[in-house]
Homo-oligomer: A and B are copies of this chain.
Amino acid sequence: MLQRRIDDHAPPTREAMREAQDIFFKHLKRVGLKHTEQRDTILRTFLETRDHLSTDELFRLVRKKDPKIGFTTIYRTLKLLAECGLASEVAFHDGVARYEHQFNRRSHHHMVCTDCGVSVEFFSPEVGKLEEEIGRKYHFDATRHTFQIYGICEDCRKNGKRVI
């Protein structure tokens, strides 16, 4: 399913980029991995997006910058980025894993159109509080949550049922 976003998109500043690279390479050092050209290219490409990218979609973007970088490396690098908090997985239940970058982003959630796949971000601090509260109540060490709302967007409602 196609994955547009209807929110605005500010490209990262040079400074933000350097800060993110710093986080990534400190993480690599910490877990005994190496700094490579490929990982850097992938990180930079990823930060320039604000979409919800599947591994394959990021692969296509990275390929424009360096056609020699393989799918497997994208796949593994996304896992590393998720490990150090620069990326997070968003599960929209359309059969593929998607990632969005989390650098300098406010905590947010998504509402997804089940017809055309478009998503909107929304902000809802209550949900974070709920996580903490419920965790405490049931003696879980709550680490994260997922919250998505599904429905039909205005456009799809107007245009009627899609054929494809």
A interface residue numbers (CB < 8 A to B): 91, 93, 111, 113-114, 120, 122, 124, 126-127, 130-131, 134-135, 137-154, 157
CB pairs A–B below 8 angstroms (27 shown): A91-B93, A93-B146, A111-B134, A111-B135, A111-B138, A114-B143, A122-B137, A122-B138, A124-B130, A126-B130, A127-B127, A127-B147, A130-B149, A135-B149, A139-B154, A140-B149, A140-B152, A140-B153, A141-B152, A142-B149, A142-B150, A143-B151, A144-B150, A145-B147, A145-B148, A146-B147, A147-B147
- Closest-by-CB residue of B relative to A123 is B134
CA distance A96 to B114 in the complex (A): 20
Contacts of A93 in B (CB 8 A): 91, 146
Contacts of A144 in B (CB 8 A): 149-151
CA distance A75 to B142 in the complex (A): 33
B135 x A145 contact (CB < 8 A): no
